Amino acid sequence: MFSRALALTALALARVSSAATSTGGLTILAPGGDSLWWLFQQPNNIVWTCGESTFPQFTIWINNSDVTLLTAITAIISVEQNFNCNQGIDPNLLNVPLGTGYTIVMTNINNSSDVYAVSDPFEIKPLAIGYPPVSATPVDQGSATVSKGASSTGSSTGSSTGTAGGAAPTKSGAASRVLAASSGVLAAGALVGLLAVV
């Protein structure tokens, strides 16, 4: 019974529109759109409007409607604190292929069908392309958060925090193992649900 409920939740999340959405002041600033991509098997980051958000915490997922790239929506971070404003993603935490149409989804930690925000679709590109320039990421006016990305050829104007290479400090270690396990359960649950529907 639990796996069926999990599968139905995964299916509901998988149908989230690919157009950017936000509620409660939470908007995903990066990645998203043509100028804010991720690099394949490299540290990447997620930046959001923590200053305007009314949500103290949320779950972060990655999604793609192209099942040849991602078979099911996958949890990246089970509980992320809003006040962090950005989160680096360790390349060992998430193994997804090169491609277009990816979105980041933020949901209620207790009810994953309660979607808070969805990013614009973005691409995962090869390392040779390099990180997007810092100036490509919008600024969170409510908290004066500046992009945590970096460019190998560009430079930042104004204050910027985070590490070079386009990523803020990452979640790894035990947390990544827990998330990897939950992602596998979610993907398996989605498959069970799909088979039950057919």
Q: Looking up tokens 């950005």, which residue turns up?
A: 86
Q: Rounded mean pLDDT of 15-40?
A: 84
Percent of the chain with pLDDT over 90: 52
Q: Is the pLDDT of residue 26 over 70?
A: yes
Residue tagged 């990066």 (tokens)? 30
- Give residue 143's pLDDT band: very low, low, confident or very high (50, 70, 90): low
Give the pLDDT score at 119: 97
Nearest CA among 186, 151, 153 for reference residue 167: 151
**pLDDT top residue among 56 and 175:** 56
Q: Write the pLDDT tens digit of every residue in 103-124.
A: 999 999 999 999 999 999 999 9
Nearest CA to 160 among 174, 144, 172, 176?
Answer: 144
> With 90 as the cut, is the pLDDT of residue 63 above it?
yes
User: What domains does the chain contain, in order, with CATH numbers?
Assistant: 2-197 (2.60.40.2840)
The pLDDT mean for the chain works out to: 73
38-59: per-residue pLDDT in tens? 999 999 999 999 998 999 999 9
Whether 18 has a pLDDT exceeding 80, the answer reads no
Token look-up 């019974």 returns: 1
In 3-state terms, what secondary structure has residue 9?
Answer: helix
What pLDDT is attached to residue 23? 85
> Closest Cα partner for 46 from 113, 106, 6?
106
Q: What is the reported pLDDT for 44?
A: 96
Distance (Å, whole) CA 1 – CA 137: 43
